[in-house]
Amino acid sequence: MVTDVPEQQKQRSKSSGSLVTKVSLSLRNAIASGQYGPGDRLPSEIEMTEAHGVSRTVVREAVTALRCDGLKRGKEVSSAPGVDRARLSSDLEVLEIRTPLEIEAAGLAALRRSPSQEEAIFDCHARLLECIEQNRSIREADLALHIAVATATNNPLFTQFLELHGQAVIPQSRVVSEAAENDQTAYRRLIHKEHEAIVIAISDRNEQDAKLAMQAHLRGSQNRYRDMMRDLRGIAHS
């Protein structure tokens, strides 16, 4: 009978370890897919406990594993220690598809936007600046602004495209995944400035300037990603 106790403990330990691995893998996949980007907060312990049907101890051990791998700092998702080259290619593909669609969307928004849609674009632009000033991830605010521009075309297909892909269409946070905080802030302010040119042109009902501003923004994003790919391969920038 005495020998059965250690065996039961081993079984419980094995079961617990499997659950920790399962939860940890689920969180890693969510981070890798872009569901949670750098600066975003993971769900609370209670939320993860309910979502995965495990104890708080299991959740804590799974989160500790993320922290040890550099994927979590404090309560927020940290910068990943490495960069997924396949993910970079996917981001570039999405940007290439977005570019012609959103250039046209910006032009149509300038021609068709209503006063309430114009205000919605202004509000989204202001929220993005708030995120920068509070040193928070800008992904949600970034996406919201692009959706507001798409909505202002009054053609629902533009909006549906962005909503279908969700935050995957805003992969910009990975560009500075290993950058210092000052570089991260500078990058976010650059995005804000590029957006501002789009917002002003739409507000002025200037179709051509709106298209050019959106083109500069999305082509700039493509160039920044290509620079990153060159850095990964040790190729000097031209």
pLDDT digits (tens, 9 = 90+) for 95-152: 888 899 999 999 999 999 999 999 999 999 999 999 999 988 888 899 999 999 999 9
DSSP string for the chain: -TTHHHHHHHHHHHHHHHHHHHHHHHHHHHHHTTSS-TTPBPPPHHHHHHHHT--HHHHHHHHHHHHHTTSEETTEE---SS--HHHHHHHHHHHHHHHHHHHHHHHHHHHH--HHHHHHHHHHHHHHHHHHHTT---HHHHHHHHHHHHHTTT-HHHHHHHHHHGGGG--GGGGGTT--HHHHHHHHHHHHHHHHHHHHHHHTT-HHHHHHHHHHHHHHHHHHHHHHHHHHHTPPP-
Mean pLDDT confidence for 166-183: 56
pLDDT number for residue 36: 74
Q: Is the model more confident about 131 or about 3?
A: 131
pLDDT at 225 over 70: yes
pLDDT band at residue 173 using 50, 70 and 90 as cut-offs: very low
